[in-house]
Structure formats: C-alpha cells, structure tokens
C-alpha cells in the first residue's frame, strides 16, 4: 500500500514538473516572431530599427507601378484581410480601421453655406484626374438659384470623404527586427517583428511625417502569401526571377538604413548625436558605422 502511495505521489510530482516545464517553454518564445527561437538558445540578441526608402534603386522591386508594397497593405486593411493595426512598434495598443482610413486623407472637402442673394459665393472642391489633384473654383455672384444661368449642383457643397494620399506618397517603411545568434545552430537570424507605413513630410501639408500605423510582420507575411499575383517583388534585371514579397524579405533583397538600436534611453542615433551637440552629418555617418559594427559582431560570433 505504501509503495502504491509513493509511486502515485511521484507520478503527481513528475506531472506537475512536466506541466511547469511546458509552461516555461511557452514563455521562452516570442509570440510576434514568424519562426521563434527559444530564449535559452539565443546566445546574442539586439533589436534594431531600419528605414526603407522604397524609391531607392535597391528597393524599387517593392515599389513597382501598380504593385507597390504600401498599396497591398492599405488595400488589405480596406478589404479586412488585415484587422490588427497598432499605434506603435510595441504592438500593444491598437488603432481602429476608421482611424487608419482617416490618416489616409490628404485634404478634406470644403463645406459651404447655401447661396444667399447679394452675397459672393465660391465653391472650392478638390477633384482628381489622371492621378493628380486639382482645385475647382466657380464664382456664382449675381446668379439666382433656379434661373437659366444657375447651376444648382454648385449652390451648396457638402462635406465629402476628401482626397486620399496617392500611393506614390507612401514611399517610406520603418521596420523593427531582432538580430539573433542561435547557439545551437551557430547561425545568425534576422527576425522581423513589425513594419510601419510612413508618408514623408515632403508630401504632407504640415511638413511632418504621417504614420499610417504599425503592422505585425506575421500578419503581413500571411497577406503576402495569400496574394501571390499582387505581392510581387519586381526583379527589373531578370523578370524570370520575380519573387513574392515574403521571400524577398527573407532573402534580404532590400536596403534599410539603421536609425535606432535598442538602448536604455530609447534614443535614435540622430537624437544621441544631437544631444551631444555633434553636427547632423555625424549622425548620418553613425548609421553606417552601426551597420559595420553589427557586421563585425556577426563575424566574431562564428567562433561560438
């Protein structure tokens, strides 16, 4: 009887230990990683933020006419294929689809009161033609509504949805990724976590960059795989080797300048140099120095 109780107690302890081990293993994995590497196998890790100019020659494959990366993502949000949009790279606070669509609006249509006798009346509608925005003006001074020379359609305009930014304006992507050296495989991995679509300040009315939102790369990778005819990285040197966006990112067929490396103050490289009173050009150089230092670090890690 004592032996039965002993083995029952031992089995219970083993079961609890095994359950605890499984739970610990679940904590060891990053839920935002496409191919997560457990923490106990990570010999070295650093998080970096990159800025991709899609109009840059090396990145033009992601920004081919009618096959732009930003077009596919924005269309994915509109169609409901992408439901999770985040306010920051922490991927914790979500923004609504309506908020995203509101950020797409470059300029709202104007609202005017109805025509009144003896009052100058101008319309100020924005119209699009052949991919460009035009402002339409019309003077209704001295024209009586309903008369032969009047145009009732111009008597009072209503608030419209406005004009959205052109796809060509969504030319900047911010990317956050973890650089991990796997001690078991003795190999360096680039684990993309999230991407952000940016409208550069040169294209906005305020002169300030507009963020359309952050997206989990896991969601984007699924979007790329499900839209193979559209998600095409265009190889202008050999179109027989066009690839899916997901494969192009996996093969690192892009150029992204590092603008931040994980640090206690959460400062960008430019912020660090600006705070020290250094010239702006040194901050630009520091981005390249950071890239070179990471490459040297990768080279030295092959000893492990």
Express each pLDDT in 256-280 by its tens digit.
Answer: 999 999 999 999 998 888 777 777 6
Given a contact cutoff of 8 angstroms between Cβ atoms, the answer to whether 172 and 51 are in contact is yes
State whether 54 and 137 are in the same domain.
no
Cβ neighbours of 273 (radius 10 Å): 19
- The pLDDT, as a whole number, for residue 71 is 96
State whether 173 and 206 are in the same domain.
yes
Give residue 195's pLDDT band: very low, low, confident or very high (50, 70, 90): very high
CA distance 172 to 168: 10
- Among residues 161, 183, 199, the one where a domain terminates is 161
- Among residues 137, 161, 185, the one where a domain terminates is 161
The parent domain of residue 140 ranges over: 109-161
State whether 176 and 124 are in the same domain.
no
Q: What is the pTM of this model?
A: 0.75
Give residue 170's pLDDT band: very low, low, confident or very high (50, 70, 90): very high
Please, which residues have CB within 8 angstroms of residue 76's CB and are 6 or more apart in sequence? Answer: 82, 223, 227
Whether residue 253 is contained in a domain is answered as yes
CA distance 284 to 280: 7
Q: Please give the tally of structural domains in the chain.
A: 2
Mean pLDDT confidence for 276-299: 83
Instruction: Tell me the torsion sign for CA atoms 286, 178, 41, 247.
Output: negative
- The pLDDT, as a whole number, for residue 301 is 82
């Amino acid at each position: 009887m004592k032996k039965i109780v002993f083995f029952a107690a031992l089995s219970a302890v083993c079961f609890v230990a095994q359950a605890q081990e499984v739970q610990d293993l679940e904590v060891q994995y990053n839920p935002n990683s496409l191919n997560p590497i457990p923490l106990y196998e990570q010999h070295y890790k650093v998080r970096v933020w990159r800025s991709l100019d899609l109009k840059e020659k090396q990145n033009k494959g992601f920004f081919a006419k009618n096959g732009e990366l930003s077009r596919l993502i924005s269309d994915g949000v509109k169609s409901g294929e992408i439901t999770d949009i985040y306010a920051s790279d922490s991927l914790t606070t979500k923004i609504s689809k309506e908020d995203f669509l509101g950020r797409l609006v470059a300029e709202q249509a104007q609202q005017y009161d109805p025509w009144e006798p003896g009052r100058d009346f101008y319309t100020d509608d924005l119209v699009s033609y052949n991919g460009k925005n035009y402002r339409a003006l019309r003077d209704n001074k001295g024209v009586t509504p309903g008369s032969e020379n009047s145009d009732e359609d111009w008597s009072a305009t209503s608030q419209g949805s406005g004009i959205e930014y052109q796809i060509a304006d969504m030319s900047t992507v911010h990317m956050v990724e973890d650089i991990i050296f796997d001690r078991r495989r003795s190999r360096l991995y680039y684990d993309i976590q999230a991407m952000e679509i940016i409208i550069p300040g040169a294209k906005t009315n305020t002169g300030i960059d507009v963020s359309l939102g952050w997206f989990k790369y896991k969601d984007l990778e699924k979007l790329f795989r499900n839209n193979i005819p559209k998600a095409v990285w265009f190889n202008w040197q050999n179109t027989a080797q066009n690839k899916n966006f997901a494969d192009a990112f996996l093969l690192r067929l892009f150029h992204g300048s590092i603008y931040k490396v994980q640090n206690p103050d959460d400062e960008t490289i430019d912020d660090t140099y600006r705070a020290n009173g250094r010239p702006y050009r040194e901050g630009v150089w520091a981005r390249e120095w950071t890239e070179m230092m990471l490459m040297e670090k990768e080279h030295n890690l092959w000893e492990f």
